[in-house]
Amino acid sequence: MGRNIAFDYDKAIHRATLLFWRQGYTNTSLRDLLKAMHIGEGSFYNTVKSKKALFLECLKHYGETVGSKRAAALFSQPSVKKGIRALFNTVLDDLDNPANPRMCFMANSVSCDVVKESELRQFLEAAMSDFQSRFVARLQKAVQSGELPKDFDSVSVAAIVATFMQGLLRGVIINYDRRKIERQVEILLTGLGF
Amino acid sequence: MGRNIAFDYDKAIHRATLLFWRQGYTNTSLRDLLKAMHIGEGSFYNTVKSKKALFLECLKHYGETVGSKRAAALFSQPSVKKGIRALFNTVLDDLDNPANPRMCFMANSVSCDVVKESELRQFLEAAMSDFQSRFVARLQKAVQSGELPKDFDSVSVAAIVATFMQGLLRGVIINYDRRKIERQVEILLTGLGF
DNA sequence: CCCTATTTGTATCGAGCACTACAAAAAGCT
DNA sequence: AGCTTTTTGTAGTGCTCGATACAAATAGGG
């Protein structure tokens, strides 16, 4: 019993995600978010409780869509060399897609204002370390299968690629040239033994 | 004629820099800044004019101290291979220094809230592209001197190192382990031909 | 020692922020 | 229909923000 919910929760989260993605956490006001989500204060505080909780939901939503897509690109290729290249391609496709803000929501959320909220920080930490360990495991499998040499330092190289990716996703805020980035990626991967 | 200024401008800028550095642009309030600078609203708006202008001054101050020190580490070594390693060492020393916030003020300023202010964005763009072109020139000199092979792609490799550095300076916000980073840097540089 | 120019501190501005109080609206239940 | 429960929109809470208004304080020039 009681009145039925009149808005689409998932769609509202998606719309909020787009706004946070474009403008960042602190810089996006709740009123703008509610306008984009097409719901009022009452509905919002009955379901989501707070701006911080909304941001967390948006991070999860982003991880389940964009993040999963990228992970799939990396892990579903038969060879790790193809996988990493597929990962970068997917990332660059996202950056090229005019429907998206030209940056990565999650990478962009590694900033002072977000990280000082411990729950948000913990989520980001967990998401990154989760991806990292899956990446390392994939590299180690490639070592065992013979695709990579026996003395390959999977842990360090995974970290290098992740760090480079983070720098890339930060750099495109200032300027973006896909062709130049593709060339850099190829040189990097070749140098790392991929 | 007229009353004399009673505060030390440079010291005030330095103190403001430390606060911005630790907390970011939007997240640092003018009142906190003034308290740290030991001056009042009146003096502030008579000299610096606005928060944005203050931030710009702080970026310049940071560039002239920390930035210059890093550039010197890179450019004053006889070989570019030693120079790049000196650069990373200097950066890691800064991160280890407990007197500093464990992040890079300038790298950290590449964020939505800062970049949407066009004057700040332009300064960051200029600072990065200036460093980049000096770096490329140094690499090309190394190619001519024979330290690097004739077919070395100075432009791309400079961009790779800069991108990795940016990712590194972002990643340390979440977690920092100098030994692991040093290992990654060595693998990266070896892979790139340094 | 007055006049003028500049700095300094205080008190405050209007705007925007995340969040809440509350009553009207709408649904299921008997 | 009447009762209960939940959602919804409006109006407003107290707070903080960057920026200002302005008078008191302080200096040099005549």
Separation of alpha carbons A163 and A158, rounded Å:
9
Examine the pLDDT at B148 and tell me if it is beyond 90: yes
Residue A157 backbone dihedrals phi, psi, to 5 degrees: -70, -40
Q: What is the pLDDT of residues A56-81, one digit of tens each?
A: 999 999 999 999 999 999 999 999 99
User: What is the reported pLDDT for B12?
Assistant: 97
Examine the pLDDT at A2 and tell me if it is beyond 80: no
Q: Quick one: average pLDDT of A71-100?
A: 97
Examine the pLDDT at B70 and tell me if it is beyond 80: yes
Interchain contact, B23 vs A112, CB within 8 Å:
yes
In terms of Cα–Cα distance, which of A38, A46, A34, A40 is closest to A2?
Answer: A46
Per the document, the length of chain A is 194
Q: Distance (Å) from CA B57 to C1' C6?
A: 23
User: Is B32 near strand D, with its CB below 7 A from some atom of it?
Assistant: yes
Nearest-nucleotide field for A45 (CA, C1'): C19
- Give protein residues whose Cβ lies within 7 A of nucleic acid chain C: A 1-4, 28-32, 41-42, 45, 50-52; B 1-7, 39-43, 46-47
Q: How many CB atoms lie within 10 A of CB B49?
A: 10
Residue nearest to nucleotide C21 (CA to C1'): A42
Q: What is the pLDDT of residues B115-128, one digit of tens each?
A: 999 999 999 999 99
- CB-closest option in B27, B153, B184 to A187: B153
pLDDT mean across residues, chain A? 96
Interchain contact, B184 vs A156, CB within 8 Å:
yes
- CB-closest option in A124, A125, A160 to B184: A160
Separation of alpha carbons A68 and A62, rounded Å:
9
Q: Quick one: average pLDDT of A4-8?
A: 87
Q: Distance (Å) from CA A112 to C1' C14?
A: 29
Across the A:B interface, residue pairs with CB atoms under 8 Å apart total 122
How many Å lie between the alpha carbon of B125 and the closest alpha carbon of chain A?
7
List CB contacts (< 8 A) between B128 and chain A: 174
Q: Are B75 and B58 in contact (CB under 8 A)?
A: no
How many Å lie between the alpha carbon of A95 and the closest alpha carbon of chain B?
16
- CB-closest option in A108, A163, A183 to B156: A183
Q: Distance (Å) from CA A53 to C1' D13?
A: 22
- CB-closest option in B111, B162, B192 to A111: B111
Q: Distance (Å) from CA B121 to C1' D25?
A: 40
Percent of chain B with pLDDT over 70: 100
pLDDT mean across residues, chain B? 96
